[in-house]
Amino acid sequence: MGKRLWLALTEVLALSVPLTWLWVEGGRRAYNRLLGGVAWPLFEWLGLPSMKLGLVSPHFVSWVPFLVLMVATPGLPLRRRALGTLLGLAAIFVVHVGCALLGAISHAAYGASPQAVAFRYPALMFNDALPFVLWALIARDFVSGFAFRVLRRNPAPPAGDRS
Protein backbone atom coordinates (compact mmCIF):
# COMPACT_ATOMS: atom_id res chain seq x y z
CA MET A 1 0.00 0.00 0.00
CA GLY A 2 1.10 3.50 -0.75
CA LYS A 3 2.25 6.01 1.81
CA ARG A 4 -0.82 8.22 1.23
CA LEU A 5 -3.18 5.32 1.87
CA TRP A 6 -1.45 4.44 5.15
CA LEU A 7 -1.63 8.08 6.19
CA ALA A 8 -5.37 8.22 5.41
CA LEU A 9 -6.03 4.98 7.30
CA THR A 10 -4.06 6.28 10.29
CA GLU A 11 -6.09 9.50 10.27
CA VAL A 12 -9.39 7.58 10.15
CA LEU A 13 -8.25 5.37 13.03
CA ALA A 14 -6.98 8.35 15.04
CA LEU A 15 -10.41 9.99 14.71
CA SER A 16 -12.56 6.86 15.10
CA VAL A 17 -11.06 5.54 18.33
CA PRO A 18 -11.55 8.65 20.50
CA LEU A 19 -14.94 9.51 19.00
CA THR A 20 -16.18 5.96 19.59
CA TRP A 21 -14.81 6.04 23.14
CA LEU A 22 -16.57 9.37 23.80
CA TRP A 23 -19.80 7.96 22.38
CA VAL A 24 -19.66 4.84 24.55
CA GLU A 25 -18.55 6.68 27.70
CA GLY A 26 -21.38 9.17 27.88
CA GLY A 27 -22.18 10.56 24.47
CA ARG A 28 -24.84 7.93 23.86
CA ARG A 29 -26.67 8.75 27.13
CA ALA A 30 -26.48 12.50 26.52
CA TYR A 31 -27.70 12.07 22.95
CA ASN A 32 -30.60 9.86 24.05
CA ARG A 33 -31.66 12.60 26.50
CA LEU A 34 -31.52 15.18 23.70
CA LEU A 35 -33.40 12.95 21.29
CA GLY A 36 -35.93 12.05 23.98
CA GLY A 37 -36.58 15.75 24.54
CA VAL A 38 -37.78 15.92 20.92
CA ALA A 39 -39.29 12.45 20.57
CA TRP A 40 -41.35 12.18 23.78
CA PRO A 41 -43.47 15.29 23.07
CA LEU A 42 -43.97 14.00 19.53
CA PHE A 43 -45.11 10.62 20.89
CA GLU A 44 -47.54 12.34 23.25
CA TRP A 45 -48.90 14.55 20.48
CA LEU A 46 -49.48 11.46 18.31
CA GLY A 47 -51.07 9.57 21.20
CA LEU A 48 -48.37 6.92 21.35
CA PRO A 49 -47.31 5.36 24.62
CA SER A 50 -43.84 6.31 25.76
CA MET A 51 -41.19 3.68 25.22
CA LYS A 52 -37.54 3.24 25.93
CA LEU A 53 -35.21 4.26 23.14
CA GLY A 54 -33.32 1.03 23.77
CA LEU A 55 -35.19 -0.62 20.90
CA VAL A 56 -33.51 1.66 18.38
CA SER A 57 -30.75 3.61 20.13
CA PRO A 58 -27.90 1.16 19.36
CA HIS A 59 -28.27 2.39 15.76
CA PHE A 60 -27.71 6.03 16.71
CA VAL A 61 -23.92 5.65 16.60
CA SER A 62 -24.08 6.76 12.95
CA TRP A 63 -22.73 10.14 14.03
CA VAL A 64 -19.28 8.67 14.46
CA PRO A 65 -18.61 7.35 10.94
CA PHE A 66 -20.18 10.42 9.37
CA LEU A 67 -18.00 12.84 11.34
CA VAL A 68 -14.87 10.77 10.73
CA LEU A 69 -15.49 10.61 6.99
CA MET A 70 -16.26 14.32 6.76
CA VAL A 71 -13.11 15.30 8.65
CA ALA A 72 -10.78 12.78 6.99
CA THR A 73 -11.81 13.19 3.34
CA PRO A 74 -8.90 14.83 1.52
CA GLY A 75 -9.47 17.71 -0.86
CA LEU A 76 -12.98 18.57 0.33
CA PRO A 77 -13.42 22.35 0.14
CA LEU A 78 -13.91 23.96 3.56
CA ARG A 79 -17.33 25.41 2.69
CA ARG A 80 -18.63 22.06 1.41
CA ARG A 81 -17.08 20.26 4.39
CA ALA A 82 -18.66 22.63 6.95
CA LEU A 83 -22.07 23.01 5.31
CA GLY A 84 -22.22 19.32 4.43
CA THR A 85 -21.36 18.33 7.99
CA LEU A 86 -24.03 20.60 9.48
CA LEU A 87 -26.72 19.51 7.03
CA GLY A 88 -25.69 15.87 7.36
CA LEU A 89 -25.88 16.00 11.16
CA ALA A 90 -29.33 17.59 10.91
CA ALA A 91 -30.47 14.87 8.48
CA ILE A 92 -29.12 12.14 10.76
CA PHE A 93 -30.95 13.66 13.74
CA VAL A 94 -34.25 13.79 11.81
CA VAL A 95 -33.81 10.15 10.76
CA HIS A 96 -33.07 9.19 14.38
CA VAL A 97 -36.29 10.88 15.51
CA GLY A 98 -38.10 8.96 12.75
CA CYS A 99 -36.54 5.68 13.91
CA ALA A 100 -37.59 6.40 17.49
CA LEU A 101 -41.10 7.12 16.22
CA LEU A 102 -41.19 3.85 14.25
CA GLY A 103 -39.90 2.05 17.32
CA ALA A 104 -42.77 3.49 19.38
CA ILE A 105 -45.34 2.64 16.70
CA SER A 106 -44.03 -0.91 16.29
CA HIS A 107 -43.94 -1.43 20.04
CA ALA A 108 -47.50 -0.09 20.44
CA ALA A 109 -48.80 -2.26 17.59
CA TYR A 110 -46.83 -5.49 18.07
CA GLY A 111 -45.16 -5.38 21.48
CA ALA A 112 -41.86 -7.25 21.51
CA SER A 113 -42.86 -9.73 18.79
CA PRO A 114 -40.96 -10.56 15.60
CA GLN A 115 -43.51 -8.43 13.71
CA ALA A 116 -42.34 -5.39 15.67
CA VAL A 117 -38.75 -6.04 14.63
CA ALA A 118 -39.78 -6.62 11.00
CA PHE A 119 -41.74 -3.35 11.06
CA ARG A 120 -38.79 -1.17 12.09
CA TYR A 121 -35.96 -3.17 10.47
CA PRO A 122 -35.95 -1.39 7.05
CA ALA A 123 -35.82 2.03 8.72
CA LEU A 124 -32.92 0.96 10.93
CA MET A 125 -30.99 -0.38 7.93
CA PHE A 126 -31.59 2.93 6.12
CA ASN A 127 -30.35 4.72 9.25
CA ASP A 128 -27.22 2.56 9.37
CA ALA A 129 -26.40 3.30 5.72
CA LEU A 130 -27.25 7.02 5.93
CA PRO A 131 -23.87 8.37 7.09
CA PHE A 132 -22.11 6.69 4.18
CA VAL A 133 -24.72 7.80 1.64
CA LEU A 134 -24.61 11.39 2.89
CA TRP A 135 -20.81 11.37 2.83
CA ALA A 136 -20.76 9.96 -0.72
CA LEU A 137 -23.14 12.72 -1.87
CA ILE A 138 -21.23 15.50 -0.13
CA ALA A 139 -17.78 14.20 -1.14
CA ARG A 140 -18.93 13.03 -4.59
CA ASP A 141 -15.84 14.42 -6.36
CA PHE A 142 -13.52 12.46 -4.07
CA VAL A 143 -15.66 9.30 -4.21
CA SER A 144 -16.02 9.32 -8.00
CA GLY A 145 -12.31 10.07 -8.50
CA PHE A 146 -11.34 7.28 -6.12
CA ALA A 147 -13.74 4.81 -7.77
CA PHE A 148 -12.46 5.75 -11.21
CA ARG A 149 -8.83 5.21 -10.17
CA VAL A 150 -9.61 1.84 -8.56
CA LEU A 151 -11.74 0.60 -11.47
CA ARG A 152 -9.18 1.76 -14.03
CA ARG A 153 -6.51 -0.33 -12.28
CA ASN A 154 -8.75 -3.41 -12.11
CA PRO A 155 -10.80 -3.41 -15.30
CA ALA A 156 -13.72 -5.81 -15.51
CA PRO A 157 -13.20 -8.86 -17.71
CA PRO A 158 -14.73 -8.65 -21.20
CA ALA A 159 -18.40 -9.65 -21.32
CA GLY A 160 -17.69 -12.99 -23.03
CA ASP A 161 -14.81 -13.95 -20.67
CA ARG A 162 -16.26 -15.35 -17.42
CA SER A 163 -13.30 -17.52 -16.41
Environment class of residue 78 by beta-carbon count within 10 Å: exposed (0-12), middle (13-18) or buried (19+)? Answer: exposed
pLDDT at 103: 83
Cα–Cα dist 163/150, whole Å:
21
Q: What is the mean pLDDT of each run of 10 residues along the chain (163 residues)?
A: 77 90 90 84 77 75 92 90 95 91 82 85 92 94 80 65 52
Cα–Cα dist 127/162, whole Å:
36
Cα–Cα dist 111/158, whole Å:
53
Cα–Cα dist 64/69, whole Å:
9
- Looking at the chain, list the stretches that DSSP marks H as alpha helix, in order from N- to C-terminal side: 3-22, 28-46, 63-72, 78-110, 114-138, 140-153
pLDDT at 51: 65
Cα–Cα dist 90/32, whole Å:
15
Cα–Cα dist 54/63, whole Å:
17
Find out whether 96 and 120 touch, Cβ atoms under 8 Å: no
Residue 158 CB coordination number (10 Å): 7
Find the angle CA(105)-CA(109)-CA(114) to the nearest 5 degrees.
Answer: 100
pLDDT at 91: 96
The pTM for the full model equals 0.80
